[in-house]
Structure 1
Amino acid sequence: MHWFTLIVSGIMEVGCIISLKYAEGFTKFPPLITYTLFGFLSAFLFSTSLKFIPLGMAFLIWVGIATIGIILFESLLLNKHYSLFDFLFMLLIVIGITGLKLFQTK
């Protein structure tokens, strides 16, 4: 359950950063509200997962999920083009996160 909480926290961080993009320097009110909501949820869930997952490991996974989520958002919805090498190295991040989870020591 704590890994699920960490993953959801990373997804909430994606929503937070995307909202920040649309807040246009905190001049647009609706994105500011979603930024605050997603940011609070992300921080709350992240801190909850820290009860069970070491800080360094949790932060690495959280940042990886957020980074890949933001890049996928840009690629799929904003028509930002990434090269094959960009996606290859993102795949390495996913493989690294998966490996950390699968082979963690207790």
Structure 2
Amino acid sequence: MSWLLLVISGVLEAVWATALGRSDGFTRLTPSLIFGVALLASMAGLALAMRELPVGTSYAVWVGIGAVLTVVYAMLTGAESASLVKTLFLVMIVGGVVGLKLAH
């Protein structure tokens, strides 16, 4: 259950990171509210997952999931350019996250 909670929290990290970028320095209400709610939920889920999982592994998985999803979303929406090299490095991050799960 802790791993599922950690993955959901990582997804929420991508949500709050994207919302933060769209909040335009907290001048836009809806993205700012999404940022706040997603941030609180993401951090709470991370904290709960850390009750049973090691801190280092939890944090690395959380950041990895959030970072990959944030970049993939930005590439899909055209906010960031996509390239084979970027995709390769994103796959490497995913491999590291999976490796941490398998090594646990």
Q: Deviation string for 1:32-71 (max 9, x for gaps)?
A: 1111100010011000000011111101001100110001
Aligned residue number for residue 103 of structure 1: 103
Aligned residue number for residue 52 of structure 1: 52
Q: After TM superposition, list the pairs within 5 Å mapping 1:17-56 onto structure 2.
A: 17-56=17-56
How many pairs were matched up? 104
Using the alignment, how far apart are the partners of 2:89 and 2:23 within structure 1?
30
Deviation, 1:85, is 1.3
Structure 1 residue runs of 5 or longer lacking an equivalent are none
Deviation, 1:79, is 5.0
Provide the secondary structure at the position in 2 that maps to 1:51.
coil
Q: Judging changes above 3 Å, is the alpha-carbon distance between structure 1 residues 88 and 15 closer, same or farther for their aligned structure 2 residues?
A: same
Q: Identity percentage over the alignment? A: 29
Q: Deviation string for 1:6-48 (max 9, x for gaps)?
A: 0000001111011111110111111111111000100110000
CA RMSD of aligned residues (A): 1.0
4+ runs deviating over 6 angstroms: none
Aligned residue number for residue 73 of structure 2: 73
TM-score (norm 1): 0.93
